[in-house]
Structure formats: C-alpha cells, structure tokens
Amino acid sequence: MPYLLLKKSPRRWWLYTSIATVPFLALVMLIQPILIAPLFDDFGPMKDKALEAEILKLADRAGIDGGRVFEVNKSEDTEAMNAYVGGLLDTKRIVLWDTLLNKLDRQQVLTVMGHEMGHYVLGHSWKLLALLSVLIFAALYTVHRSQNFLIQRYQHHFGFSEPSDIASLPLLLILISVFSLALQPLVFSYTRQIERESDRFGLEITQANYAMASALASLQDENLVHPRPGMVFVLWRSWHPPIAERIEFINGYRPWETEQSLTYGDYFRNP
C-alpha cells in the first residue's frame, strides 16, 4: 500500500498511510477481544459462580454495566497468568485465564480485576491509541523527509533515484525501524504511567494492599519477570513499571486510613 501511494502521491503518501493505519488499529482494538481472541483460546462461563458474582459486584461499583465474565482455558498452553476487561456496549467482557484463578486466592483475583477495570474505566486503550496515532503521523513524516534526503544525496550508491522505486524498500524498512526504536521509550513511558494509574484505581476500589502486592509477587514468579530490571531495559522494553517498584507503592498507599480523598473516588458507585 505505501508504494501504491508513493507512486500516486509522492509528497503526501505518509499522510494517507497514517490516515489509513489509525482506523485499522482502532478496529483491531475493538474486535480483538470479541472476534480474534476466541479464535485461539477456549472461552467459557466462569466455573466459580460465587467469585463471578463478586467480580460483577466490583464491576458495578467501578461503573461497568452489562459485562459478562469469561474463563479462558490457558493451562494447557502456559503457566503465565492474565486477565483483562474489553469490548464496548453489549460486547463488554471480563476475561480471566484459568491459570490466574488456579494460583491466586479470591481477594488476590479481585485486586487484579480492580486493576484491569481501572484500565477500562479510565479509557487507557483509547488514550494509547491517540498517542500512537500522533506518533505514527510523526514517524512516517520523518521517514518521508529522511528518505528523500538520503536518496538525493546517495542515489548513485543506492542504484535508484525515486522513493517509489521498489528497490528502495530496504531503506524504507530501515528508516521505519530506526524511528520506531527511537519512539519506543516514549510509548513505554506512557504505558508505565497508565499501569501506575490502574494500580492506584485497583487499590482504591478494593483497599486490599496485601492481596494486590502478593498477587503481583505471584505474577512475577509465574511470568518470570525480573523484579528490578536495568534502566536501559525499562526504557526500551518494559510496558510495566518494575514489579518491585509497584509493590513498594502498593504497600505504602493507604489514603483511606487517614481519611484523605481518593484520586478516583468520583468514579466509584456506593458499595
């Protein structure tokens, strides 16, 4: 598609490619939990109905109406644990892997779900999409300008003189990789921030510090996560804050004990 646009509009291909990419990403985000994930995993009703009722009660308090709870059979494939809240309107769903249900106790599961509900209620997926949209436009424009500059300067070495020449594909891929790598720390910095917000949301709605901290410790063991990775790894590879940093925050965050206002208290319905 970029090369078709390069031939049709060599000056604005980057703009049209960006405009086409953003709706595609939004569509994937919408259908992934509903149409794509069930193609690869076995989604079924939750077996523990008492825990399901508690999860739905927590969801109602978080302002999530009409959600359905699904249990995914992942224990045949992995020991890793996961849960999420996705979908919109009538497609809202709360999903828990059976590995998580098998290895965490009731209160730990509820704190994990409080965190995941925080992502949903605070609109983190849409905010991340907005950030990625801006970065896609910026990255492709920079690729466009850099590609033109390099071709004009080194065309006798490259063996082609137009960006629309298919021979320029390796150069295009290299430039996209370089600028994507350069932008990675910005994206990961934002994802670490929204993870912190969801930790705070989950704590405030459950007020179960020990359960959340111990759940994270279990996730660290089962998912083989380094508790304190180096700075370079965090900047370029880590979607989440270091587990040790998160646990330290969780253990010390207790505004309800001193009657301080909650950051996300306005989102909560009365229990």
φ, ψ at 163 (rounded to 5°):
-60, -25
Residue pair 240/35 in contact by the 8 Å Cβ criterion: no
**What CA–CA distance (Å, rounded) separates 36 from 28?**
9
Residue pair 58/117 in contact by the 8 Å Cβ criterion: yes
pTM of the model: 0.89
**CB-based contacts of 37, cutoff 8 Å, min separation 6:** 43, 95
pLDDT per residue as tens digits for the range 72-130 = 998 888 888 889 988 766 667 899 999 999 999 999 999 999 999 999 999 998 899 99
Dihedral angle sign, alpha carbons of residues 135, 141, 145, 147: positive
Query: Quick one: which of 89, 88, 47 has its CA closest to 69?
Result: 47
77 or 53, higher pLDDT: 53
Quote the pLDDT of residue 155: 85
Task: Calculate mean pLDDT across residues 165-185.
Answer: 91
Q: What is the DSSP string of 28-66?
A: HHHHIIIIIHHHHSEEEE-S-HHHHHHHHHHHHHTT--S
Three-class SS of residue 81?
Answer: coil
| pLDDT classification of 27: cutoffs 50, 70, 90 | confident
Three-class SS of residue 226?
Answer: coil
**CB-based contacts of 231, cutoff 8 Å, min separation 6:** none
Share of the chain above pLDDT 70, in %: 96
Query: How, if at all, do strands 93-97 and 68-73 pair?
Result: parallel
Active centre residues (catalytic): 116
Quote the pLDDT of residue 76: 84
Residue pair 201/121 in contact by the 8 Å Cβ criterion: yes
| pLDDT classification of 224: cutoffs 50, 70, 90 | low
Token digits of residue 202: 């989950």
How far, in Å, are 21, 30, 187 from residue 27 at the CA level?
Answer: 10, 5, 20
| pLDDT classification of 61: cutoffs 50, 70, 90 | very high
Dihedral angle sign, alpha carbons of residues 18, 21, 26, 29: negative
How far, in Å, are 16, 228, 249 from residue 199 at the CA level?
Answer: 38, 18, 9
Which of 20-34, 179-193, 204-218, 223-237 has the weakest average pLDDT? 223-237
pLDDT per residue as tens digits for the range 186-218 = 999 999 999 999 999 999 999 999 999 999 988
Q: What is the DSSP string of 161-178?
A: --TTSGGGHHHHHHHHHH
